[in-house]
Structure 1
């Protein structure tokens, strides 16, 4: 397979350089996943706009991180498992909670139905069971929240696929494998 390198600012088009500068100003770094998407300024600009729009949906930051953890695990994306474990901890999750969320479960019933549906949407390619969908609605979610969740899963799947195809270096602390956690 082709070896992908994370491009530096100087290796991308001027439009992508401007986006790199903006990202660095906002979060203090350009994560490798964004830099890699930056091979295409159009792709990076489109992705960041789509990702930013997710913050306006039905789910708060902690819930969005829970979805990201479940989807990253379901898609086997070690980069996103690492990134969202770190970000999840910044949003108040413990290490144990991040591992449970990656497995698609939570002791919090609201989070539990969110991650169960997100995981099933991912693993079953958008065809979750009726029971899982009904459990989501029984928790008080509506059709708008369902649409927001589907798009949140899609948002996270994009970066999962970028990492899985490029196998770029992880620039966050590596997440503990679920198997290792289960044995502990």
Structure 2
């Protein structure tokens, strides 16, 4: 099988180089996953625009990280688990919080409805358990939040699949394996 390597700035087209510069300026580094997306400047640009469009939205940064964690766990994406565990901890989650979210639960009732619904949608390839959908709305979320949740799940599945197919090296601290924690 062909090994996909992480391209350097000089190995991508000028449009991707500009995007690399923007990402580096914004994040302080160019993550390997984004660099690999740079093989297709249009794909990287579209992903970054989609991500930016949802940056305000209904969900808090912490809620978004919970969504990222549960979706990445379901898809066995070591890269996204590493990145989003680090980010989640920087946003106030503990290691135990991140592990619980990855297992599909949290002690925060409202957040738990989001995590469980995101897990259901991801596990069932877009189908949602009707009871979990009802619980989501009963927790106070509206239709805009549902559509945003689907968008966030979709964006994360995309990055999970990029990792699954390319196997880019981790450039974040590895997340704990769930089978190695109690």
SS state at 1:65 partner: helix
Residue 9 of structure 2 is matched in structure 1 by 9
Task: Kindly indicate whether residue 81 of structure 2 is the aligned counterpart of residue 81 of structure 1.
Answer: yes
Instruction: Give the whole-Å Cα distance in 2 for the aligned partners of 1:179 and 1:139.
Output: 31
SS in 1 for 2:6: coil
User: 5+ unaligned residues in a row in structure 1: which ranges?
Assistant: none
Cα distance in 2 for residues equivalent to 1:94 and 1:41? 36
Which residue does 1:35 correspond to in 2?
A: 35
Q: Structure 2 matches for 1:32-181, cutoff 5 A?
A: 32-181=32-181
Structure 1 residue ranges, 4+ long, deviating more than 4 angstroms after superposition: none
Gaps of at least 5 residues in structure 2 are none
SS at match of 1:174: coil
TM-score (norm 2): 0.98
Q: Which residue of 2 aligns with 1:22?
A: 22
Query: How big is the shift at 1:111?
Result: 1.1
**TM-score for both structures, normalised by structure 1:** 0.97
Q: Distance in 2 between matches of 1:124 and 1:45?
A: 29
1:70: Cα distance to partner?
0.4
Distance 2:55 2:109 in 1: 21
Instruction: Give the secondary-structure state (helix, strand or coil) at the position aligned to 1:3.
Output: coil
SS in 2 for 1:42: helix
Please give the per-residue CA displacement for 1:132-176, whole angstroms capped at 9, x wherever unaligned: 101101101111111110111001111000001101101000000
Count of aligned pairs between the two proteins? 182
Deviation at 1:56, TM superposition (A): 2.0
